[in-house]
Amino acid sequence: MSSTASKDQAFGPKPEECRDTDHYVKEYNDGFVDKWDDLIDWDSRAESEGDFFIQTLKERGVKRILDVACGTGFHSVRLIEAGFDVVSADGSADMLAKAFENGRKRGHILRTVQADWRQLNRDINGRYDAVICLGNSFTHLFNENDRRKTLAEFYSALNHDGVLILDQRNYDSILDHGYSSKHTYYYCGNDISVYPEYVDPGLTRFRYAFPDDSVYHLNMFPLRKAYARRLMREVGFQDIQTYGDFKETYRESEPDFFIHFAEKK
Ligand code: SAM
């Protein structure tokens, strides 16, 4: 498939060597941002996800939510429509502009903040009952210091008794058994091919090919589940619970995605 319609994501001549936390801003260029909603398909994603997040957040009495990786605004908009008070943050100005536009189309004025997670509390005001970091976003971080710093910033942005909800792909399965995806929950768009083109213990390079022949990539860190849970614990989070594809019980290799709930007590 040709990649002529794709805009340059500036991976350089050896894309597999690009393992840089700061690179995400170049990966979400206006070309890929424009395609993101085709990839996730809001209606199908809302249907497959159901009320999972809305219900869990309500059960916990959450009112104020900080969506730290709002992307094009899918969760921010859904949560606003469910009655939550939401602030939408992202480090990419292009993503935030798209989120704002998507919100406006649905009759909402999103409160957007451009903030890199590593300096989150410099740019946001106040504390939140929940911080959500969804869509495999956290695995854009390529070194442990960035991960620790980010989790510490998330912790600090939470009220006492607040909850962090952070999801990730099942990289254990990709690293240990190879890639397979039911493609049911997250990337729901039709006729879009998504798979890891390159995998080693330090990099998973995903390829996204669209029906108009455009091709984009994301370089992500293959975060193992146990390691992610340990980092959260070490930063101070407690009672970490990990769901697999929205279910409490699962066989380890089965889910495409894990969703961690980590409490600040
Ligand atoms: N949550 C959205 C979704 O599920 O559709 C977007 C997910 S997208 C895979 C990852 C998002 O994380 C992008 O919008 C990107 O700009 C943001 N991001 C990645 N690294 C970041 C960082 N260090 N600080 C702030 N935002 C970051």
Which of 119, 134, 140 is the best mutation target for the ligand 1 pocket, counting ligand atoms within 8 Å of the beta carbon and taking the most? Answer: 140
Distance of CA 102 to the CA centre of its chain: 18
- Centre of ligand 1 from the C-alpha of residue 176, in Å: 26
**ipTM for this model:** 0.99
- DSSP 8-class letter at 248: S
Choice between 218 and 39, residue whose per-residue pLDDT is larger: 218
| pLDDT tens digits, one per residue of 224-259 | 999 999 999 999 999 999 999 999 999 888 899 999
- Centre of ligand 1 from the C-alpha of residue 23, in Å: 11
| Cα separation values, 24 from 32, 85, 95, 137, 152, Å | 12, 27, 11, 10, 20
Question: How far apart, in whole angstroms, are the C-alpha atoms of residue 196 and residue 149?
Answer: 27
Nearest CA to ligand 1 atom 4: 135
Within 10 angstroms of residue 145's Cβ, the number of other Cβ atoms is 11
158 lines ligand 1 (CB under 6 A): no
pLDDT tier at 184, thresholds 50, 70, 90: low
- For 38, phi then psi, to 5°, come to -65, -40
- Is residue 43 within 8 A of residue 107, CB to CB? The reply is no
Which of 23, 24, 25, 132 is the best mutation target for the ligand 1 pocket, counting ligand atoms within 8 Å of the beta carbon and taking the most? Answer: 24
| pLDDT tens digits, one per residue of 20-79 | 999 999 999 988 999 999 888 899 899 989 999 999 999 999 999 999 999 999 999 999
**% of the chain surpassing 70 pLDDT:** 94
Contacting residues for 112 by C-beta, under 8 A, at least 6 apart: 70, 87, 88, 89, 90, 96, 99, 100
If residue 198 lies in a helix (H) or strand (E), which one and from where to where? Answer: strand 193-200
Q: What is the mean pLDDT of residues 107-133?
A: 98
Nearest CA to ligand 1 atom 16: 92
Which of 137, 138, 154, 216 is the best mutation target for the ligand 1 pocket, counting ligand atoms within 8 Å of the beta carbon and taking the most? Answer: 137
- DSSP 8-class letter at 162: E
Which amino acid is it at 139?
T
pLDDT at 5 over 70: no
According to the model, what pLDDT value does residue 151 have? 98
Question: How far apart, in whole angstroms, are the C-alpha atoms of residue 192 and residue 256?
Answer: 17
Question: How far apart, in whole angstroms, are the C-alpha atoms of residue 27 and residue 254?
Answer: 29
| Cα separation values, 193 from 39, 71, 181, 208, Å | 9, 20, 11, 6
90 lines ligand 1 (CB under 6 A): yes
